[in-house]
């Protein structure tokens, strides 16, 4: 057991899979000698050498095109995009080629690749470097979408993503990189599509993802002091989605709140709400409530960014209002 930061857990997860499987390679801007712009790949060049850990030009199209070709030819590549916002520059390759190749070849060509990218706000990077883009990827058939909230889950979910036969977009939240926890020694491999219950409760179900998970947990503590028992579910992945976890919880609590960093319009919480309304409406004791970022570009000013991104007090107010 060792204490790891979220950023160090990324390097550990990649190293675990590169040690296990020689077909796993890593490419991206500054991932080699510099150890990654967020220092998430430190030590990998020294451990695995320049053939398997390679810097690329500043071209997202080159990175995702390169890992697509590598995956088609027997490798299990990991490509890093510095910011999830930059998916927009290579979205055609991701959406129209990577996501559809296995289907359009009737399974003759699979693409076991991972696109890792730094996601989300809270770090004062402004509107072009702070977006939560996981709902973009969730909308595309053929992509799997993963967003861990803890260092331990970074290792286990990254391993599962590398081993998956389909393309995975792995969102690492920038505002979580410095967080720490004890992570067990040895190999860690999770299953995609399994949510985690972070707190247990009877009065309200709170569903969250990535950096909103600690926000929801903090809110659950504040609610407990007021006599409200909240069950916090960390989805961990959006595709596949663990619908059984939150539907079962709602059947018990009768109330559902989603907490997401996406802008409100077409955020992933809308899909959760839709599923709950279809599958367990008679279990609900009131309207489903979504706590979201407003439908705005995120500002760089500290006070304005903090105002835009949901915090624990906002979640508490939402729960108390519905109760």
Same domain as 259, residue 234? yes
For 265-304, what is each residue's pLDDT tens digit? 999 999 999 999 999 999 999 999 999 999 999 999 999 9
Question: In b/e form, how buried is each residue of 300-314, taking b as 16+ CB within 10 angstroms?
Answer: beeeebeebbbebeb
Same domain as 232, residue 206? yes
Same domain as 53, residue 144? yes
The answer, yes or no, to whether residue 323 has pLDDT greater than 90, is no
The whole-number average pLDDT for the span 224-236 is 98
Residue 322 binned pLDDT confidence (cut-offs 50, 70, 90): confident
Q: 176 in helix, strand or coil?
A: helix
Same domain as 170, residue 22? yes
The domain tally of the chain equals 2
For 191-217, what is each residue's pLDDT tens digit? 999 999 999 999 999 999 999 999 999
Residue 57 lies in a domain: yes
For 21-69, what is each residue's pLDDT tens digit? 999 999 999 999 999 999 999 999 999 999 999 999 999 999 999 999 9
Q: How far is CA 304 from CA 53, 118, 293, in A?
A: 39, 21, 12
Same domain as 75, residue 221? no
Same domain as 176, residue 216? no
CATH number for the domain spanning 110: value is: 3.40.50.970
Catalytically active residues, by annotation: 129
Inter-residue contact 128 to 184 (CB < 8 Å): no
Question: Residue 143's closest CA among 168, 107, 124, 171?
Answer: 168
Question: In b/e form, how buried is each residue of 130-168, taking b as 16+ CB within 10 angstroms?
Answer: bbbbbbbbbebebbbbbbbbbbbbbbbbbbbbbbbebbb
């Amino acid at each position: 057991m060792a204490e790891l930061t979220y950023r160090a857990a990324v390097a550990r997860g990649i190293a675990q899979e590169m040690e296990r499987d020689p077909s796993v390679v890593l490419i991206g801007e500054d991932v080699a000698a510099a150890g990654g712009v967020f220092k998430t790949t430190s030590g990998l060049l020294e451990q695995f050498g320049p053939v398997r850990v390679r810097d690329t030009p500043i071209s997202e199209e080159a990175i995702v095109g390169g890992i697509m070709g590598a995956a088609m030819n027997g490798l299990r590549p990991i490509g890093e995009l510095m910011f999830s916002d930059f998916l927009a520059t290579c979205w055609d390759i991701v959406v129209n080629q990577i996501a559809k190749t296995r289907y359009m070849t009737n399974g003759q060509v699979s693409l076991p690749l991972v696109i890792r990218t730094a996601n989300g706000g809270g770090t004062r990077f402004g509107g072009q470097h702070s977006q939560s883009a996981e709902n973009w990827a969730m909308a595309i058939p053929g992509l799997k979408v993963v967003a861990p909230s803890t260092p331990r889950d970074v290792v286990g979910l990254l391993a599962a993503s590398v081993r998956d036969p389909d393309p995975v977009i792995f969102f690492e939240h920038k505002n979580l990189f410095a967080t720490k926890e004890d992570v067990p020694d040895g190999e860690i491999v999770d299953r995609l599509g399994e949510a985690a219950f972070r707190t247990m409760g009877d009065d309200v179900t709170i569903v969250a993802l990535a950096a909103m998970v600690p926000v929801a947990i903090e809110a659950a503590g504040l609610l407990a002091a007021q006599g409200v028992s909240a069950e916090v579910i960390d989805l961990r992945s959006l595709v596949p989605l663990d619908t059984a976890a939150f539907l079962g919880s709602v059947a018990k609590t009768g109330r559902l709140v989603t907490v997401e960093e996406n802008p409100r319009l077409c955020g992933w919480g809308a899909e959760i709400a839709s599923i709950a309304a279809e599958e367990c409406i008679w279990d609900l004791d009131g309207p489903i409530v979504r706590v979201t970022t407003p439908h705005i570009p995120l500002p760089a000013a500290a006070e304005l960014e903090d105002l835009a991104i949901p915090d624990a007090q906002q979640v508490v107010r939402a729960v108390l209002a519905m109760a």
